Amino acid sequence: MENRYFLIAILAAATLLFSCSKEMSREGDGTLPPTSTCDYAPYTNHSSFSYMNVNSAKDTIKYTFTVSGDTTINGNVYKIVGNDSVFTCSNCKDGIYTQVASILTFQGYSADDLRLTYLKDNVAAGTTWRDTITVNNGGASTSGILEFTVTQKDVTKTVNGKDYAQVIAVRMDAYALVLNNPVAVGTISTSYYGKGIGLIEADQLHDTTTILSYTLQP
C-alpha cells in the first residue's frame, strides 16, 4: 500500500513537466484522424513562456521556460524547453504530443525516461487513451496507469483576464496496479492547451499553474 501512495506523488509531479518521447498511445476504430499541424506546441527556438503557480496556501511562484534548441533521443529530434532548474522538451507528430520526464524523483522513488502521450489535437471530445508507467525504489518497482481524456475541444477559456480561443482540455486520471489490477487513484490534473501557444493552465488538487505571457520567435 505504501508503494501506491508514492506512485500518486510521482504522478502528481509528472503533470508539471512538458517534455518529449517517441512512444505513442493508440486507440480508435481504424479510421484516419484529421490532419494536424501541431499548433499546440509552437516551440520554436528562443520562444519563451512565463507561468505562475499558486497553491492552496496562496503561495506563489513565477518562472519562465525558454526553448533553447534541439536534443536527440533514440534518433528522434525534440525541442528543449526549460530553465536553470528544470529540463524539459517537446515533440509532436501528426497531432500526437508526447513527453518524457528524465529521472523524475520523489523521496527515493524515481521514474527514468517517463514517457507520456499528454495531448492529441486531432481527436474528438470524449476520446480517451492510456499510458503505463513504472517507478522504482532500489530493487522495488511499482506500476501505474495514466488515463487521458479530452474533456473539451475548441472552447474559449479566460486565464488571468485574457481570452484564449480553440482551447483543448485534457483530464489526467491515475490508476495504481495492485496485484495486476487497476485501482483508481483519482484525477491528477486537468490541463488546458491553447492553439498557437501550448499549455495555458493546469489545475491540480492543491495548486493551479497559469500562463502569464509568452513570446514566439519565427
pLDDT of residue 164: 98
pLDDT of residue 150: 98
pLDDT of residue 56: 92
Contacts of residue 107, defined as CB under 8 A and 6 or more positions apart, other chains included, come to 6, 9
Report d(CA 65, CA 80) in Å as an integer: 10
Whole-structure pTM over 0.85, yes or no? Answer: no
CA distance to 41, 54, 99, 106, per residue, from 203 (Å)? 19, 10, 19, 20
For the purposes of burial, counting CB atoms within 10 Å of the CB of 18, is it exposed (0-12), middle (13-18) or buried (19 or more)? buried
Q: Describe the chain by its helix, strand, coil percentages, rounded to 5.
A: 5, 60, 35
Kind of pairing between the strands at 109-111 and 114-120? unpaired
188, 171 Cβ separation under 8 angstroms: no
Instruction: Name the strand (E) or helix (H) holding 153.
Output: strand 140-159
Q: How many domains does the chain have?
A: 1
Amino acid identity for residue 198 in this structure: G
pLDDT of residue 137: 64
Contacts of residue 38, defined as CB under 8 A and 6 or more positions apart, other chains included, come to 92, 93, 95, 97, 121
Amino acid identity for residue 145 in this structure: I
CA atoms within 13 Å, Cβ hemisphere of 146 = 28
What digits encode the pLDDT tens for the residues 161-194? 999 999 999 999 988 887 888 888 888 899 999 9
Domain that holds residue 144: 2-215
CA dihedral 207, 211, 217, 218 (to 10 degrees): 100
91, 20 Cβ separation under 8 angstroms: yes
What digits encode the pLDDT tens for the residues 2-24? 444 444 444 544 444 433 333 33
Domain of residue 198, CATH code: 2.40.360
pLDDT of residue 113: 58
pLDDT of residue 193: 97
154, 167 Cβ separation under 8 angstroms: yes
Average pLDDT by stretches of 10, the chain with 218 residues? 44 43 36 68 94 94 92 77 77 87 51 76 97 73 86 98 97 85 87 96 92 96
